[in-house]
Amino acid sequence: MNIFVARLNFKTRREDLQKAFENFGQVTSAKIVKDRDTGRSKGFGFVEMPNDDEANKAIAGLNETELDGRTIVVKPANPKSPGGGDGAPSEQNPG
C-alpha cells in the first residue's frame, strides 16, 4: 500500500520517516518530496508498505501523532493520475 504523509517537519529525513513506519511492519520505500529548484522538503512524502494490514495499522497508529515536533497526517495515497499527479490527496478528492 502506498501511504501519503503530510505536515512533515521540513527537517525530517527519509530515514526518520521510514523508522516511524517500521514500528508497524515492513517498509519497502520511504520518500520525502523535495522542491525541484531548491532541494528543500515540501513537507510531505510517501511510504510504501507491502502488507495492507500492517499499512492500515501504521495509518491508524501514526495519523495525528507527533514526528519531529509536528503533528502529521497519514492516509492512503490516491493512485497516480495519468496526468502525472503525485498521488497526494487534493481538495476536490481528499482521499
Query: What's the topology of domain 2-76?
Result: Alpha-Beta Plaits (3.30.70)
pLDDT at 70: 97
Kindly tell me if the per-residue pLDDT of 84 is higher than 90.
Answer: no
Average pLDDT of the residues in 65-87: 83
pLDDT tens profile 46-75 = 999 999 999 999 999 999 999 999 999 999
Average pLDDT of the residues in 23-31: 98
pLDDT at 65: 98
Residue 56: C-alpha distances to residues 61, 62, 72, 83 (Å): 8, 10, 16, 27
Contacts of 84 (CB under 8 A, 6+ apart): none
pLDDT at 79: 79
